[in-house]
């Protein structure tokens, strides 16, 4: 459905209206949503709800929901928006309310502005906009990135989505940074969709280019984070150079909230802007950050950078440590075993010795370690590199995949690992980072 046909832009917003209480598992609840309103819901981990659009039109972060199709949501905080009005049938327990005060008008107008730049790029044979989204934690940055991506796809575009937030994996597990061209709709039940490691899917899989950082915050090791970002930017720019459709659409870059506060973080934003040649910065929910971005980039010598301030959605909620922990564990389990719809078959390597006599890694970025009990239940990144490569080469390499340490024998210097890859990895370097944190036993 064509986005420009959306009515109701510029209409006055009303105060939010709250539902009488959470839906129950015993019976279905019918919600009548008025035009330009949003149904916001939270589903606890271990529980699920079924949602069906009975009539009208509705969307989740820009992806339209099919009428009369049942969608199942587990352990999530999300929202369903309608431009025209709709009737929803909801079955299952969740915390929920309906709001008519949303920033969707400004968000979709931002999309239209980006589309104008893409049309101009197509006429001139140039590149589409390179958009950076910044803002504090829980400001709705990822939701905005997802919405702008979905709208671009619905217009026949293929945006390159960049994730620089290692706390949240985009088509990968936490700890990694990815660049992914999107050519097909997002799977609203999974969030972004699935990658080849997630098994068969009714929605075409995405092909992320993955780099490993292995720490939760860019400020934990800026010396490592910056070159990984530089390599990611080089790879993403190279893809734009060989794919005219992606080139004409441009990039949308998500960032961690921690870099949107304080001088150190601002320096990391400047690094991202420089490496990705960003020309548009969208600032969510922070006057101070908007002022700082204007000060830093309004007189940029590397080219014009447009800074735009957008309101934070009232639907944004804090994601506490417990929620993030559950999200991380769910992402890891899905990587190794699939989800309830897709089951993966893994193999256990019973006798794996990391490193070996051929190991010649120098010191600096990484430290060579022997198998130890501290590795139990940890995730290791397997790199597209050789054990004989320099640490800089290993750092700049893409990720082949991840393995899970199921058992460690320190005396024999051996580990049992869960391997979701049908390829030889004993001659590949593996990186052990502190993020994602040690997970619960998977087997």
Q: What angle do CA 276, 279, 281 make, to 5 degrees?
A: 95
Residue 438 lies in a domain: no
CA distances from 11 to 8, 226, 305, 339, 349 (A): 6, 43, 30, 41, 60
pLDDT at 166: 93
- Give the CATH number for residue 384: 2.40.30.330
Residue 29 lies in a domain: yes
Contact 404, 389 (CB under 8 A): no
Residue 182 lies in a domain: yes
Contacts of 24-30 spanning 24+ positions with Cβ under 8 A: 24/93, 25/91, 25/92, 25/93, 27/91, 28/89, 28/90, 28/91, 29/89, 29/90, 29/91, 30/54, 30/87, 30/88, 30/89, 30/90
Cα of 233 vs its chain's centroid, Å:
16
**Same domain? 93 vs 163:** no
Residue 407 lies in a domain: yes
| Closest listed residue to residue 177, CA positions, set 74, 276, 93 | 276
- Give the CATH number for residue 182: 3.40.50.300
Residue 115: partners with Cβ closer than 8 Å, 6 or more residues away: 152, 155
Q: What is the count of structural domains for the chain?
A: 3
Residue 399 lies in a domain: yes
**Same domain? 365 vs 220:** no
Residue 71: partners with Cβ closer than 8 Å, 6 or more residues away: 50, 51, 52, 65, 188, 189
Residue 406 backbone zone (phi > 0: left; psi -120 to 50: alpha; other: beta):
alpha
Segments forming the whole domain that contains residue 296: 104-310
**Same domain? 151 vs 242:** yes
Domain boundary among 77, 99, 121: 99
| Closest listed residue to residue 36, CA positions, set 66, 6, 1, 2 | 6
**Same domain? 92 vs 122:** no
**Same domain? 148 vs 182:** yes
pLDDT at 347: 52
The Cα–Cα gap between 221 and 239 comes to 27
**Same domain? 87 vs 157:** no
Which residues are part of a known binding site for ATP? 38, 77, 138-143
The Cα–Cα gap between 155 and 389 comes to 44
**Same domain? 149 vs 40:** no
Q: Which residue has tokens 């079924």?
A: 50
- Give the CATH number for residue 50: 2.60.120.1030
Domain boundary among 99, 134, 164: 99
**Same domain? 156 vs 297:** yes
Residue 317 lies in a domain: no
Residue 162 lies in a domain: yes
Contact 251, 159 (CB under 8 A): yes
**Same domain? 91 vs 111:** no
Which residues are part of a known binding site? 38, 77, 138-143
pLDDT at 204: 55
Domain boundary among 82, 99, 116: 99
Per-residue pLDDT of the chain (443 residues; tens, 9 = 90+): 334 433 333 333 333 443 444 444 447 999 999 999 999 999 998 899 999 999 999 999 999 999 999 999 999 999 999 999 999 999 999 999 999 889 999 999 999 999 999 999 999 989 999 999 999 999 999 999 999 999 999 999 999 999 999 998 888 889 999 999 998 888 888 778 665 544 445 555 677 899 999 999 999 999 999 999 999 999 999 999 999 999 999 999 999 999 998 889 999 999 999 999 999 999 998 999 999 999 999 766 556 899 999 999 888 877 777 888 888 888 888 888 876 555 554 555 544 444 333 333 444 788 888 899 999 999 999 999 999 999 999 999 999 989 999 999 999 889 998 888 777 787 899 999 988 887 667 77
**Same domain? 376 vs 272:** no
**Same domain? 298 vs 198:** yes
The Cα–Cα gap between 369 and 431 comes to 10
pTM (whole model) above 0.85:
yes
**Same domain? 55 vs 150:** no
CA distances from 203 to 16, 193, 323 (A): 34, 7, 27
Residue 340 lies in a domain: no
CA distances from 317 to 136, 168, 275 (A): 12, 16, 31
Backbone angles phi, psi at 281, to 5 degrees: -120, 120
């Amino acid at each position: 459905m064509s986005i420009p046909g959306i009515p109701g832009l510029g209409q006055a917003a009303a105060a939010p209206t709250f539902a009488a209480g959470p839906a129950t598992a015993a019976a279905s609840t019918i919600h009548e949503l008025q035009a330009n309103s949003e149904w916001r819901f939270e589903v606890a981990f271990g529980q699920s709800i079924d949602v069906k659009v009975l009539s009208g039109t509705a969307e989740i972060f820009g992806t339209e929901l099919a009428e009369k199709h049942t969608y199942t949501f587990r352990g999530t905080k999300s929202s369903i928006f309608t431009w025209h009005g709709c009737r929803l049938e909801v079955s299952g327990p969740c915390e929920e309310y309906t709001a008519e005060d949303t920033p969707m008008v400004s968000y979709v107008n931002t999309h239209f502005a980006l589309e104008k730049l893409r049309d101009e790029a197509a006429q001139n044979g140039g590149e589409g906009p390179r958009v950076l989204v910044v803002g504090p934690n829980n400001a709705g940055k990822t939701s905005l990135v997802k919405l702008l991506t979905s709208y671009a796809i619905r217009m026949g575009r293929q945006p390159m989505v960049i994730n620089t937030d290692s706390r949240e994996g985009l088509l990968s597990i936490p700890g990694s940074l990815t660049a992914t061209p999107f050519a097909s709709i997002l799977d609203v039940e999974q969030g972004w969709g699935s990658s080849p490691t997630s098994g068969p899917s009714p929605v075409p899989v995405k092909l992320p280019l993955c780099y490993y950082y292995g720490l939760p915050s860019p400020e934990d090791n800026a010396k490592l984070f910056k070159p990984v970002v530089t390599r990611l930017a080089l790879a993403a720019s190279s893809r734009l150079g060989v794919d005219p459709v992606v080139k004409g659409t441009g990039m949308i870059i998500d960032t961690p909230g921690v870099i949107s506060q304080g001088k150190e973080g601002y320096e990391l934003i400047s690094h991202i802007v420089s490496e990705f040649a960003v020309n548009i910065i969208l600032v969510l929910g922070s006057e101070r950050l908007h002022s700082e971005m204007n000060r830093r980039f309004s007189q940029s010598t590397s080219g014009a950078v447009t800074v735009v301030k957008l309101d934070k959605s009232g639907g944004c909620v804090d994601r506490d440590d417990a929620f993030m922990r559950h999200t991380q564990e769910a992402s890891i389990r899905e990587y190794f075993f699939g989800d309830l719809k897709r089951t993966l078959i893994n193999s256990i390597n019973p006798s794996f010795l990391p490193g070996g006599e051929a190991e010649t890694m120098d010191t600096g970025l990484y430290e060579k370690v022997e198998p130890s009990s501290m590795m139990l239940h940890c995730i290791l990144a397997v790199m597209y590199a050789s054990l004989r490569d320099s640490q800089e080469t290993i750092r700049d390499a893409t990720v082949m995949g991840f393995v899970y340490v199921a058992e460690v024998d320190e005396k024999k210097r051996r580990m049992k690992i869960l391997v979701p890859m049908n390829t030889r990895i004993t001659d590949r370097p593996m990186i052990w980072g502190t993020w994602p944190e040690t997970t619960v036993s998977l087997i």
